[in-house]
A and B are shown apart, each in its own frame.
Chain A
Amino acid sequence: MAEYTLLIILFAPFLGALGLIFVSNRQVSLVRGIAAGSAFVSLAASVYLFYAYDSVKGGYQFIQRIEWSRQLGISLHLGVDGIGTPLVLASGILLFAGIFVSWHIKDRMKEFYIWILILAAATIGVFMSLDLFFLYFFYEMSVIPMYLLLGMWGSHTKKYLEMTDPEGLKQRDSVGFIFNFGANSKEYAAMKLVLFLSAFAVAALMGILLIYKFSGLNTFDILILREKAHFSGPLATLIWLLIFFGFASIAPIWPLHSWSPVGHAAAPAATSMLHAGVLMKLGHFSIIRVAFEILPETTRELMPIAAVLCIFSIIYGGLVAYYAKDTKYVIGYSSSSHMGYVFLGMAALDYISLSGAVIYMFAHAMATGMLFAMAGWVYDQTHTRDIPSLGGLSNRMPFISAAFVIGCMASIGMPGTVNFIAEVMIIVGSWNKYPFQVVVAVLGIVLTMAYLFKMMRGLFYGSMAEKYSHSHDAVAVVDRMPLLIMITVSISFGIFPGHLYSVVRSGVDPLIARITKVVPVAELPMNIPQASSHTMPVPAPGEAIAKVTSR
């Protein structure tokens, strides 16, 4: 049973979605039951996975391998290491919480749950793929549900509503409309998100195809490629850049971020949670899984690019968040700013900083999940995301406002939350290599405080407009539970980070050892396979002989 854990985590949401197809939209409780049940199975299995993962042994565990196509050298090869495990857990938690956050959706509830389950399952699939093909397969599969989730259940911005006729017939469909801030329809946001992510995904696919061709191994298997494929020179640089920018667009790194706040803002609460919480981490994760594993030397040479761009992410995202007047834009830009910290942790290529980056991904998933869930609650109650018109809501929603304070504290990185540990690790770990960036990052934390406190004050304190006096607090168990789950996880790992840390460390150690200690390409004697990391099993006899590409 234990060896099928990954399959259970991955396929429970898919089966739930499949089951929902055959249920009528009128059977509300059955629809909710199937969605919550399948999400719970997935969550329970991922909790089991997290605690059953053997951090002493390290390496890839719970491996499943099902041959899928002989001709193309593809197999459904699943396995998690210390980096994938916490992210799978975060996806499980956010999916489960997201099901409850969207408990009161009235319009086409069944379809909503189908798409959100597919979205989460595809995301989970990326975190456990050990095959480049399936990594891309799940990656692209997670993009399409976003279109429908944003378009069908999303919301327009205030400016957009003010500028169109009530029937909403004047829609913004044009592709050229990329740099349009603050006045977009949900359709525009959805289309922009899908086109942007697909455009960069195909760049990553090109990189994957180049890896496939020039490794000469006729396989997409990451474990084989990392041992035997070897790239150097301009080719390696090209592949690395394709992979890095292809996946960094979803992360989102600074010049490629513009789809992200727009998309977050338009999305319904549960989708924003999953989107900001785990979908954005697909970018960092895929870079780690593909670029770090397969192209270690190139990563060492080119990762400073990320160190430069992350400054812009942190400062630009923070400043826009400070001046934004839309709750979801604030949280969206704060997310894209915070992802800069992850890039900083990755760029330093240090044991502590990369571990910090991975823990930060987990921590940010919880914090931003909470904030989006509560922004969604406020929107549902007041039907606006416009901060200046809101205020004083703490009278009406004491629970939500208290939870919001905790969410802001977590997002800032208050000691006691897991975000604090992650931020400290990133800052300490990158200090040697990138002191300037660290200073910027610390300023970024101050900026985070500024915009989050500003939003908190704007939403919950001050005087309340009369028309919001009928808004309700989250009282029912189903409404409070998702927030409580995320708060509990955030604080308990903040106080007892031991297991999380050792799991992450077991994944990071061999990776960094490989990147920092491998001999540069030029010094390698010809035809000798590259030094393998100590945690990997030695290839069995009879396997393909390493092929050093010289092209």
Chain B
Amino acid sequence: MTFSLTLSASDLLLLLPELFLTLWLCVVLAVDFSFKRIVQEQLAYLTILGVIITLACLAWFDMTGITGTLFGKMFVVDRMAIFFKVMILLATILVILLSIDYVHRFSLFRGEYYFLVAMSALGMMFMASANDLLSLFVTLEFATFGFYVLVSYLRDDMASNEAGLKFFILGVFAAGLLAYGISLVYGETGKLVFSDMSGATPTTGLVIGFLLIFAALGFKIGAVPFHSWIPDTYHGAPTPVTAFLSIAPKVAAFAILLRLFLVALATFKPAWALLIVAASILSMTYGNIVAIAQRNIKRLLAYSGIAQVGNVLIGLAAGTKMGTDSILFYLLTYLFANLGAFAVIMAISNSVGSDEIDDYRGLNRRSPFLAFAMLIFLLSLAGVPPLAGFIGKLYIFVAAIKEGLYILITVGLVNIVVSMYYYLIVVKKMYINEPLDSSPIKTTGPLRAVIYVGLAGTLVIGIYPQPFLDWAVAATLMFSNLIGPAASLTPPVTPFGS
């Protein structure tokens, strides 16, 4: 295999969003170093500006249909990659907005916080485009690198340090597994690019190799049994970082999982489907049951996140075009609800100084807006109509039932009810219990903006999902050769007219 590293203008075009963001990050750092007295808000908005321009560039790609591969297929720009990148950048913008008030808690704050956030986002953008085992490893580590620092950013806080250490040690261990898995797979097949592997014969080494790779990716998405770092890390990390960690790496890792399982391993679907089914059932059940016992809202969302990943894995287990559509759509709904919930948590933690669920007592009397927003986000996570989460869950179930995954769906449905219990306990504290301290809670502009975006996303997708469904469906056209749902086989149904 030979790499041609001569880049033509059209090749550079494909890299434009990443290149631009890289340059912009340098600008952010340079501005930070050059102007000692710069207000940190301005730095935040400067970073956001860069991310927005990158988003615009991606939107332009999506509309004009610019796609292609680079570096001997290592780096691919297709509509799915663009979809994932848009989600990652959206999460980045919201997380930077969340951080603006929080960074005052950091001792010795410098602008590198925003640099690190955006750099992680850059790494995850590369993850969304990774198309072979080498780029998988490099981009995964690139993306995680920034998080190692971000998680332990509260230097004087023991919990934050513990979180950082735990995340680092387990992360490095996962990286080791990943490297070992990649070497085994390469040794068995002699191939690195996903799409070249589809014809490989399954040998013991290959199976072990892929299991190791799955373990490393399972670590990223926090699926059971690779979840052990999640609760402590979420709990200890600075809240905006937790919010970022709860959505962006998962989104990026799912991009890789989709390419790995549905492109490289498409022919072995019966074998890996069992693996995914097991991981999904374990994640949903474990996450939801343990979440019931939580007294801290960040830990609650950590466990609920494990359960949500289990839900997304149902779509992967379906392994069809519709399954991938449903994964993309679900992640989008999860993004809005989850980041919105974290924005409310931060607003409360800023004025109450605690993340304990008991301190949410009487929130409805202290701040009706925050309570309402939290209600909407939690119910969306639980999957209650007419909110986005319900459509996401239903889409996944429909995709799965077409593949006959009855047990998985039954477990998923039962878990909806279980999850409803602990979300409603939070609702109970907010709405039914009387506040111990009835002083009103103030929210700042940036947090409010995030909450509004979350509410708009959750409600609009819930009430009128068609454009978002269309977008997800268009993004995964590359998978339409998979054994698709029966939709394409039967003639369109014309309804009884009025």
Contact = CB atoms under 8 A, between A and B. Distances in A.
A42 B320 CA distance: 44
A46 B464 CA distance: 26
Interface residues of A, number: 59
Interface in A242-267: none
B205 interface: no
B487 A218 contact: yes
B466 interface: yes
Contacts of B420: 194-195, 198
Nearest to A221: B495
Given A71-B322, A137-B385, A140-B384, A218 B417 contact: no
B413 A141 contact: no
Contacts of A147: 424, 427
B469 A71 contact: yes
B401 A209 contact: yes
B413 A217 contact: no
Contacts of B397: 205, 209
A133 B424 CA distance: 24
Contacts of B401: 209-210, 212-213
B429 to A, nearest CB: 10
Contacts of B395: 71-72
B498 interface: yes
Interface in B427-485: 427-428, 431-432, 464-466, 469-470, 473, 485
Interface of B: 322, 325, 364, 368, 379, 384-386, 390, 394-395, 397-398, 401-402, 404, 409-410, 413-414, 416-417, 420-421, 424-425, 427-428, 431-432, 464-466, 469-470, 473, 485-487, 490-498
Nearest to A209: B401
Nearest to B365: A108
A376 to B, nearest CB: 19
Contact of B486 (A69, A75, A111, A216): A216
A545 B494 CA distance: 11
A542 B364 contact: no
B33 to A, nearest CB: 47
B364 A108 contact: yes
A348 to B, nearest CB: 30
A206 B424 contact: no
Contact of B413 (A70, A187, A202, A218): A202
Contact of B384 (A3, A141, A175): A141
Contacts of A141: 384-386
Interface of A: 3, 63-65, 67-73, 75, 77, 108, 111, 133, 136-138, 140-141, 144, 147-148, 151-152, 173, 175, 186-187, 190-191, 194-195, 198-199, 202-203, 205-206, 209-210, 212-213, 216-219, 221, 223-224, 537, 539-540, 542-545, 547
Count chain A CB atoms within 10 A of each CB in B395, B409, B420 and give the residue with the most: B420
A195 B421 contact: yes
Contacts of B325: 71
A175 B424 CA distance: 12
Given A140-B384, A209-B397, A187 B486 contact: no
B493 A187 contact: no
A69 B397 CA distance: 15
Contacts of A219: 493, 495
25 contacts: A3-B498, A63-B498, A65-B497, A71-B395, A111-B364, A137-B386, A138-B385, A140-B384, A140-B390, A144-B379, A152-B364, A173-B425, A194-B424, A202-B417, A209-B397, A213-B402, A217-B490, A217-B493, A218-B485, A218-B486, A219-B493, A221-B493, A224-B495, A540-B494, A544-B490
Contacts of B428: 151, 173, 187, 190-191
A63 B496 contact: yes
A133 B470 CA distance: 19
Contact of B398 (A65, A72, A217, A543): A72
Contacts of A543: 493-494
Given A195-B417, A198-B416, A206-B409, A223 B496 contact: yes
Given A141-B384, A209-B401, A544 B493 contact: yes
A537 B431 CA distance: 49
A172 to B, nearest CB: 11
B424 A218 contact: no
Contacts of A218: 485-487, 490, 493
Contacts of B425: 173
A199 B464 CA distance: 26
Nearest to A186: B432
Contacts of B464: 68
Nearest to A213: B401
Given A137-B386, A198-B420, A219-B495, 16 more contacts: A71-B469, A71-B487, A140-B384, A148-B431, A187-B428, A191-B421, A198-B416, A203-B413, A206-B409, A206-B410, A209-B401, A212-B398, A216-B490, A217-B490, A537-B496, A545-B491
Contacts of B402: 213
Contact of B409 (A133, A187, A209): A209
Contacts of B486: 216, 218
Nearest to B465: A69
Contacts of A63: 496, 498
Given A152-B432, A187-B432, A199 B417 contact: yes
A476 B404 CA distance: 61
A151 B375 CA distance: 14
Contact of A77 (B322, B390, B495): B495
B464 to A, nearest CB: 8
A174 B495 CA distance: 47
A136 to B, nearest CB: 8
Contacts of A68: 464-466
A77 B409 CA distance: 26
A152 B421 contact: no
A148 B425 CA distance: 11
A118 to B, nearest CB: 10
B494 A73 contact: no
Given A141-B386, A151-B431, A195-B417, A209 B398 contact: yes
Nearest to B473: A71
A63 B325 CA distance: 31
A545 B384 CA distance: 34
A65 B469 contact: no
A144 B414 contact: no
Contacts of B490: 216-218, 544, 547
B68 to A, nearest CB: 27
Nearest to A547: B490
A152 to B, nearest CB: 6
A175 B421 contact: yes
Nearest to B462: A137
B247 to A, nearest CB: 24
A221 B497 CA distance: 12
Contacts of A148: 427, 431-432
Contacts of A65: 495, 497-498
A194 B382 CA distance: 13
A137 to B, nearest CB: 4
Given A71-B322, A133-B394, A140 B495 contact: no
Contacts of B421: 175, 191, 195
Contacts of B491: 544-545
Contacts of A67: 466
A470 to B, nearest CB: 27
A210 B410 CA distance: 11
Nearest to B369: A21
